[in-house]
Structure 1
Amino acid sequence: MLKHLYIKNFTLIDELDIDLFKGFSVITGETGAGKSIILGAIGLLLGQRADSKAIKQGADKCVIEAQFDLSRYDMQDFFVENDIEYDADETIIRRELTAAGKSRAFINDTPVQLSMLKELGERLVDVHSQHQNLLLNKQDFQMSVVDIIADDARQLAQYQQAFNAYHTAMKELETLRDDIERNRQNLDFLQFQCDELTHANLHEGEQEELEQQSDTMAHAEDIKSALYTADNALSAEGTGVVESLRNSLSALRGIERVLPAAEEFIQRIDSTYIELKDLAQDISSQLERVDFDPAELDAVNNRLDRLYDLEKKYHVETVSELIEKRDELQRQLSNIENSDEALAELETRCQQLKTDAQKQADTLTKLRTKAARQVEKELQTRLVPLGMPNVRFSIEMTTIELGHNGQDKIAFLFSANTSTPLQPVSQVASGGEIARVMLSLKAMISGAVKLPTIIFDEIDTGVSGKIAEQMAQIMQEMGRNDRQVISITHLPQIAALGAVHYKVEKEDTAQGTTSRMRQLSADERITEIAQMLSGSDISDAAIQNAKQLLKVKR
């Protein structure tokens, strides 16, 4: 419930600081006095987009703040999920706009994104303006009315889960069918490519090995010359390093007895001698193996050319990628070969999922059908006292293909008299009739949805007299069940039934035009309603009529 509203520097409002109460309240005021401005401010609190032009001229910032009592509405889950401090008795929502175009939103002094403010706002306040009467023409709104009365949120969620699984499987089936058709059309080409890569007898690391062989064989003479030079330096008779080291060892062993240091020299030279002797043997063996064979070089280069050609043809850079391409082609051919089996398996799965979704949809339809009959009966009962003694109202449900919201299409059919056949409500109902239908629907919905505050913005358009009083009584009834109902009205019959009466006024001052809202006293209410009855010149008859409407005894 909205307990307190504070507005500063918003459009024509300098500062508004006012308490609001539970039950049924009314707001009156002349056209242009600023009632829409107050609604606009509340809209910003509910997450609507802001415009810096809404800031009062000359001000740097505007602030809109509201205090709510949520103690009866079980909303703690929202605050816990969003890590916001929860105070059931005093939840504060604030919106700040700056002339520079910046906007900030707060819930209990915690900065929040606009989307979060909107999510909470939708659970706190429902503002029903005249343009919302157009919702009555929308199929999704009509469906939502039936779903709310059916209390089928859990069943709808179960159906949507089943339908989403079916829908996903159907997309997979469609993709598989397309793939199979495309692959079958390319079967010969795919087989040719697979055969070509298979017959190429590809091996991991082959290209690198062949490139090394080719490079080695192309430089065979240089390699042989270098190895010969190294072999000669190590092993040449009389001048080779190995023979010189052997002679050094022999000489040192001859003096080992008389020169103790010779023992260390012998060990170090002996180690070097053994290493160089092995090295000389390896170089000599390598020299014997180096032999230039043009035919072998041609064979290596031809194989490399084949690999390079395949890589270019298949737009890859390595043999590994060619192998991956070959394996993918083999998988595609295998899928084509086994496609009928895979297709049949997925078709069976889709049919099972459709059957599951259909069962959930049938259950949903039953709940909606029962709720539709309830809406028909209750709405007709509510509309008769609202000046429609011969009203007929029916909810037509037709079966359509399974979709996100089930298999049902809803249409509200309406006739205000016995001579007119039932037709879609948007085609036959007048503005006043639509207003009464919407009010009756809101009254029904409010009983099923725990919405703390409902604001009606001139829902009484197109009605007057006794009908207006009946509409006010409906709003009174809505306000009795731990709910706050506020009606912005131009009709004295509605204004008189409010437990609390506010007036919006516009005043011209030296600083410019300002708008304000204040709570009226008992005497002020008499004057206000009398003025609504007779205009600016208030007659005694109007005063007496106002007192009678207010049931005031003087």
Structure 2
Amino acid sequence: MLCQLSINNFAIVRFLELDFKAGMTSITGETGAGKSIAIDALGLCLGNRADAHTIRPGANKAEVSARFSLLDIPLAKRWLEDNDLDHDDECILRRTISIDGRSRAYVNGNPIPLAQVKALGHLLIGIHGQHAHHAMLKHEHQLTLLDSYANHKMLLDTVESSYHRCKTIEKQLKQLELDQHERLARKQLLQYQVEELNEFAITKGEFETIEAEHKKLANSTALIELCRSQLDILQDNDQANVESLLNTSISQGQDLESYDTELSSVVLMLNEALIQVQESSSELDRYLQGLELDPEYLEQLEQRLSKALQLARKHHVNANELYAHHQSLLAELNELDSDDDKLEEMRELLQKSQQAYLNHASKLSQSRIRYAKELDKKVTQSIHQLSMPKGKFSISVTFNQDVISPHGCDAIDFLVTTNPGQPLQPIAKVASGGELSRIGLGIQVITAKKVATPTLIFDEVDVGISGPTAAVVGRMLRTLGESTQVFCVTHLPQVAGNGHQHMFVNKSSKAGKTETSMTPLNKAQRVEELARLLGGDTITSNTIANAKELLRS
């Protein structure tokens, strides 16, 4: 619950430090005294928009802080723990606004973004403004009220998640369909190119092989002549050849070695040279024997080499890259084929996701129907107590699977009849301003009991209500205050008198400056304030007696 609120240089407040208790706290004061300033300041702590104009004239900075006890707020404790913010069963929200319009927010002394402050604030306080009943005319707000009462957050989250999944798949499918024409054109080109390369069927490393073979066969005559010439030099020439000359040299070297063993290494090297020459001759002879002039095979090689070069030019690659290019085109074509499969799979997935969404939305709709019936009875009972004895309230829940949203497929309409014999009609058509505020107040009180918010603020929600009806409203809020901390800004003595405690807002002027203060009232002061609310400026013994009676009742 809210334990303390401190306000510095905010609007016409110079300094306020307020301590609060459990139960219902009535807040009253003269018109224009600033009864809602404390609520506006609290709103800043909860992440509302900051404005430099709210800084008290003459000050450079406004600062507001609120201290909450977390003993009975496990959700807030968990939120602080999840966000690595220490709490010790207490939470302090602080907000500063500088004259240049900049603002900063802190939780337990740690600076955090406003979005996080707002997320935490929803777990701590619920604020019901004086115009809340007008928002009730909007169907989306009616849906929010029903869902708040039903408290089926898990169903709502499931439907929203399912909705976004459908939208994501729809987006992906749309992109695939937009790309389909481009893919089809590319696929037709690839099919032609791949078919051409399939027909040629070049293998890995083949171009290098046929290029080398062609070079060899194209130069076979020269190769034969050169090989024979080499063999002639090495061993075949009868007059002089390398082998015979080496043999002569070796023979002479052996003679030299017999005179001087130091020359034995020369003989050794000459013998090795002879061996190398003989092996070279053998290799050349073997190569020459295997070398054939085959014009037909040469022509085949020339044709394949020419075709490879032609295809390489056509595909804008080097001839030795033709095999890799062929494989790349094949892979791309297979991928496009798989994209076609993916398109069909995506359509099936979307259909399944849409059906899953409708199943979740249907369960949510059934839950809404169930809680709508429950809320119908309670609101009808409430408006009977609020001087509409013949009134009837009903919530229409219409499921339309053709209209989908993150919140389901339901159209919600609050229906009411205020006079016997009249049919139920949309609330906007039949309820007067006073009736609307009473119905709205009844719904707010009922839904507030169901929602686990530890502190509730009702800011002049009793506008348009008076007399016995006001007394009923007061009793409703007091009953709510037995289980929840309630703050009620009101101008009605019948409501204010039901508070467990009472705070008075006063505006005063001194030395040309206006200042607002808020003070708790003791029992005697409460009687005097209630008498003022009952009788205006003139307080008589009768109004005093009536005020005492209000407190007693």
What band does the TM-score fall into relative to the shorter chain? Answer: 0.7 to 0.9
User: 1:362-511 residue pairs with structure 2 within 5 A?
Assistant: 362-401=362-401, 403=404, 404-418=406-420, 420-481=422-483, 483-510=484-511
| C-alpha distance in 1 between matches for 2:14 and 2:313 | 81
- Residue 544 of structure 1 is matched in structure 2 by 545
Q: Which amino acid counterpart does residue 107 of structure 2 have in structure 1?
A: I
- Residue 47 of structure 1 is matched in structure 2 by 47
Q: CA RMSD in A?
A: 5.2
Shift of residue 198, structure 1, vs aligned partner: 2.9
| C-alpha distance in 2 between matches for 1:194 and 1:371 | 61
Shift of residue 186, structure 1, vs aligned partner: 4.7
- Residue 141 of structure 1 is matched in structure 2 by 141
CA pair 457-306 structure 1, distance change in 2 beyond 3 A: same
Q: 1:198, 1:326 within 8 Å by CA — same for their partners in 2? A: no
Q: 2:256, 2:263 within 8 Å by CA — same for their partners in 1? A: no
TM, length-normalised to structure 1: 0.76
| C-alpha distance in 2 between matches for 1:39 and 1:252 | 123
| C-alpha distance in 1 between matches for 2:19 and 2:259 | 120
CA pair 81-262 structure 1, distance change in 2 beyond 3 A: farther
TM, length-normalised to structure 2: 0.76
- Residue 153 of structure 1 is matched in structure 2 by 153
Q: 1:307, 1:319 within 8 Å by CA — same for their partners in 2? A: no
Q: 2:64, 2:95 within 8 Å by CA — same for their partners in 1? A: yes
CA pair 253-116 structure 1, distance change in 2 beyond 3 A: farther
| C-alpha distance in 2 between matches for 1:437 and 1:253 | 137
Give SS of 1:144's match.
Answer: helix
Instruction: Encode CA deviations 1:414-440: one digit per residue, 9 max, x unaligned.
Output: 122226432211232233222222221
| C-alpha distance in 2 between matches for 1:303 and 1:543 | 113
User: 1:29-48 residue pairs with structure 2 within 5 A?
Assistant: 29-48=29-48
Shift of residue 445, structure 1, vs aligned partner: 1.4
Instruction: Encode CA deviations 1:305-328: one digit per residue, 9 max, x unaligned.
Output: 64354359xxxx977754544444
- Residue 295 of structure 2 is matched in structure 1 by none
Give SS of 1:56's match.
Answer: coil
| C-alpha distance in 1 between matches for 2:181 and 2:469 | 68
Give SS of 1:525's match.
Answer: helix
Structure 1: gaps of 5 or more residues: 218-223
| C-alpha distance in 2 between matches for 1:493 and 1:445 | 22
Shift of residue 173, structure 1, vs aligned partner: 6.6
Give SS of 1:377's match.
Answer: helix
Is the deviation greater in 444-453 or in 52-61?
52-61
Q: 1:207, 1:319 within 8 Å by CA — same for their partners in 2? A: no
Q: 1:432, 1:460 within 8 Å by CA — same for their partners in 2? A: no
Instruction: Encode CA deviations 1:143-165: one digit per residue, 9 max, x unaligned.
Output: 23333433433344455556666
- Residue 193 of structure 2 is matched in structure 1 by 196
Q: 2:190, 2:329 within 8 Å by CA — same for their partners in 1? A: no
| C-alpha distance in 1 between matches for 2:519 and 2:148 | 36
Q: Does 1:310 align with 2:312?
A: no
Shift of residue 139, structure 1, vs aligned partner: 2.2
CA pair 473-332 structure 1, distance change in 2 beyond 3 A: closer
Q: Which amino acid counterpart does residue 390 of structure 2 have in structure 1?
A: N
Q: Does 1:533 align with 2:534?
A: yes
| C-alpha distance in 2 between matches for 1:261 and 1:28 | 131
Q: Which amino acid counterpart does residue 47 of structure 1 have in structure 2?
A: G
Q: Which amino acid counterpart does residue 105 of structure 1 have in structure 2?
A: A
Give SS of 2:507's match.
Answer: strand
User: 1:356-367 residue pairs with structure 2 within 5 A?
Assistant: 356-367=356-367
Shift of residue 359, structure 1, vs aligned partner: 4.5
Count of aligned pairs between the two proteins: 528
- Residue 80 of structure 1 is matched in structure 2 by 81
CA pair 330-73 structure 1, distance change in 2 beyond 3 A: closer
CA pair 432-259 structure 1, distance change in 2 beyond 3 A: farther
Instruction: Encode CA deviations 1:74-94: one digit per residue, 9 max, x unaligned.
Output: 222212211111322x32111
| C-alpha distance in 1 between matches for 2:264 and 2:105 | 94
Shift of residue 410, structure 1, vs aligned partner: 1.5
- Residue 109 of structure 2 is matched in structure 1 by 109
Shift of residue 355, structure 1, vs aligned partner: 5.3
Q: 2:9, 2:55 within 8 Å by CA — same for their partners in 1? A: yes
Q: Which amino acid counterpart does residue 73 of structure 1 have in structure 2?
A: I
Is the deviation greater in 301-310 or in 33-42?
301-310
| C-alpha distance in 2 between matches for 1:204 and 1:485 | 86
CA pair 110-374 structure 1, distance change in 2 beyond 3 A: same
Q: 2:27, 2:487 within 8 Å by CA — same for their partners in 1? A: yes
User: 1:219-234 residue pairs with structure 2 within 5 A?
Assistant: none
Structure 2: gaps of 5 or more residues: 216-221, 235-239, 292-297, 318-323
CA pair 296-3 structure 1, distance change in 2 beyond 3 A: same
CA pair 69-297 structure 1, distance change in 2 beyond 3 A: same
